[in-house]
Amino acid sequence: MCQVKQEVDNLIKQDPAKSAAFSVLKYLVYRAFINRSIIVGSLIRILFCKPICLLFTVALFFISCDTSVRPVDLILYNGKIISVDQDHTISEALAIKNGKFLSVGSNQEIKKLFRATQSIDLQGLSVIPGIIEGHVHPIPASISEHFEEIPDVKTIAELLSWVQLQVQEKPQGSWIIHPKFFATRLQEMRQPTIVELDSVAPDHPVFLDGSYGGMVNSAALRMSNVSTRTAEEGFLRDPQSGELNGMLRRSAFEFLAIDHSDQLSDEERRFDLTQLLQMYNQVGITSITAGSGTTKDLDVFKSLRTSGDLTVRIFQNISIPFNHQDSIEQMRQALDDLGYHTGTGDEWVRVGALKAVIDGGVLTGTAYLREPWGLGAKEIYGITDPTYRGVLRIGQEDLERMILVALEKDWKFTAHVTGGGGVDVLLNAIESVAETQNVMDKRFSVIHGNFYTENAIIKMKNLGVYADMQPAWFFKDADLLYQVLGEDRMQTFHPYKSLFDAGAIVNGGSDHMVKLNSYTAINPYNPFLSMWSVVTRKTELGSVYNTDQALSRLQALQMYTINNAFASFEEDIKGSIEPGKLADLAVISEDLLTCAEDRIKEIQVVLTMVDGNIVFDNGTLDVDEPEDRER
């Protein structure tokens, strides 16, 4: 109410002209109609203003005195509404109409002003904006366990037992493949040796796929006709004997004689995808950024939307459709052929960023670091070259050309980069382009990044570059990386507080790739587990690192709500609970802001809504009809 008074007073002081009075007072009339409140003191003060002001103020007063109750679709009341708006507003109730938040306020205000078709007594539970997952791969993840569950192995013994079981179940010569295996997440923190794999699978080819590196047994090498004579640096060798040791880099994957033919029908794929999206709803996720893909993936989500089966909003990144060494003209033509640019689409399915891949991965020893990996990486990754810094797939010059074309064709640019050296290459390329082009409003981002120095953070702030980060990597991998890289280099690993303090936008995601369970997936996509990790700086093994980089609970929530809305240029329509925004929300079992710290990771979602519709309900709360509420 005081805000209405202040706005009227400011109008009279700043510009008494009729045109200004008309435009602003009409806005205030609308505000009063929504809020149904104005204090009499404002009216008295304005009585001494010009007649035109008096006319509209009187109209405003009478509108505010309208005691009619407005119909809405749904009211949620008797809860704690954590809005994540600029003022960090906490309320008790909210009203929804036509898929949008209409009003947020106290129980008394909402019940007095609105009559709902349905209502939900929150019973004191908390409501947060719908979780926006900043980086997942839903299409491949959804089919990853179609035929069988992927084991969650913790030790080499468990891995070998699983391989032995596969040998018993599969015909001789059939491939045994773990689609996302990271030896660094084993308790032993090492790869199984080729001898160990051969001992349990002498006649079955085994491939442990770690995305940017992997491990095979002797049968896999034989079936793929790979030997010591094979001229491919991606097959690593024993430094003493020169024999192949089974360790691979990504460049060697194409030499493996694996049948990649599609075994699933379109209907099966569609069903698996809808099931995974519903699993996302079960942890409060209402929007996702699909980390990479093609326009075919975009069409899949559009089809789900048309059939009414889409329960999550999509921001689909598109992998670069050209080679980084192509000419400028070839790049332009490739983007023209796509027929899209960032932002194409609607509030359900929208085209995301143009994505490149600059280096490898920290879990396979292929991330491009600022310094050589060092002796600590020898046993785990098979790295023997003392000058080896990792794999740099795209250099700065090519990146600059790619960024220039992306800007010209109205694309947001992003890139997978996991090592600090790769971060610097990308930021230097953006900085160079920014000398002649405006990049600030494009909201470029670094996917993963992991290692951010003070200088890198300053550049990100100055260039408007976002940090697209995955706290699950800290939770799962910080212990191993401390062992390999040492304490000094790990001071720059996931420096969330420094990024926030500098004013850089930090986005929260998981990089979910395979497995379906939100806690045991690779990588875990449960947002509350990740929020707990950035608040506590604790790892899966219970270690605590760099507590000075811990975030507040509200900052952790911002990473998964409003910050990710900014990343997709949608901060005006989602990411917080405010009137006019899309009615996407999650009701949760604990008060995220005040519960015991270790309860954060155990928070359960009670109910999830997208577009004002319930997409997940665990049965805790009842949906009441109006007459139920009156009794």
In this predicted structure, the answer to whether residue 237 has a pLDDT above a threshold of 50 is yes
Cβ neighbours of 203 (radius 10 Å): 15
Q: How far apart are CA 627 and CA 115, in angstroms?
A: 11
Q: How confident is the model at residue 379 (pLDDT cuts 50, 70, 90)?
A: confident
> Is residue 105 helix, strand or coil?
strand
Q: What pLDDT does residue 495 have?
A: 98
Q: How confident is the model at residue 212 (pLDDT cuts 50, 70, 90)?
A: confident
Q: What pLDDT does residue 62 have?
A: 45
Q: What pLDDT does residue 273 have?
A: 98
Give ∠ CA 442-334-256 in degrees, rounded to 5: 105
The average pLDDT across 366-374 equals: 96
Q: What pLDDT does residue 325 have?
A: 96
More confident residue, 384 or 614: 614
Q: How confident is the model at residue 506 (pLDDT cuts 50, 70, 90)?
A: very high
Among 50-64, 251-265, 430-444, 553-567, which stretch is predicted with the lowest mean pLDDT?
A: 50-64
Q: How confident is the model at residue 189 (pLDDT cuts 50, 70, 90)?
A: confident
The average pLDDT across 599-615 equals: 98
Q: What is the pLDDT of residues 342-353, one digit of tens each?
A: 999 999 999 999
Tell me how far CA of residue 422 lies from CA of 82, 104, 210, 462, 536, in angstroms. Answer: 37, 45, 19, 19, 28
In this predicted structure, the answer to whether residue 275 has a pLDDT above a threshold of 60 is yes
For 289, what's the count of Cα atoms within 13 Å in the CB-facing half-sphere? Answer: 34
Among 38-52, 89-103, 147-161, 224-238, which stretch is predicted with the lowest mean pLDDT?
A: 38-52
Among 138-147, 251-260, 532-541, 600-609, which stretch is predicted with the lowest mean pLDDT?
A: 251-260
Cβ neighbours of 219 (radius 10 Å): 20
Q: What pLDDT does residue 231 have?
A: 85
Among 19-23, 68-72, 223-227, 378-382, which stretch is predicted with the lowest mean pLDDT?
A: 19-23
The average pLDDT across 71-76 equals: 98
Q: What pLDDT does residue 263 have?
A: 83
Among 65-74, 234-243, 288-297, which stretch is predicted with the lowest mean pLDDT?
A: 65-74
In this predicted structure, the answer to whether residue 46 has a pLDDT above a threshold of 70 is no
Q: What's the length of the chain? A: 631
Count the helices and strands in the chain (H runs, E runs): 22, 24
Q: How far apart are CA 347 and CA 513, in angstroms?
A: 24
Q: What pLDDT does residue 67 have?
A: 56
The average pLDDT across 478-484 equals: 94
DSSP letters spanning 68-94: PPEEEEEEEESSEEE--STT--EESEE
Percent of the chain clearing pLDDT 70 (strictly above): 88
Q: What pLDDT does residue 289 have?
A: 98
The average pLDDT across 526-549 equals: 97
Q: What is the pLDDT of residues 446-474, one digit of tens each?
A: 999 999 999 999 999 999 999 999 999 99
Among 88-102, 217-231, 326-340, 430-444, which stretch is predicted with the lowest mean pLDDT?
A: 217-231
Q: What pLDDT does residue 626 have?
A: 60
More confident residue, 50 or 249: 249
Q: What pLDDT does residue 579 have?
A: 98
In this predicted structure, the answer to whether residue 193 has a pLDDT above a threshold of 60 is yes
- Residue 107: beta bridge partners? none
Percent of the chain clearing pLDDT 90 (strictly above): 78
Q: What pLDDT does residue 381 have?
A: 86
56-66: burial string, b at 16+ Cβ within 10 Å, e else: bbeebeebbee
In this predicted structure, the answer to whether residue 441 has a pLDDT above a threshold of 80 is yes
Which phi and psi angles does 104 have, rounded to 5°? -135, 135
In this predicted structure, the answer to whether residue 9 has a pLDDT above a threshold of 70 is no
What is the chain's mean pLDDT, rounded?
A: 89
At residue 262, what is the residue type?
A: D
The average pLDDT across 63-80 equals: 82
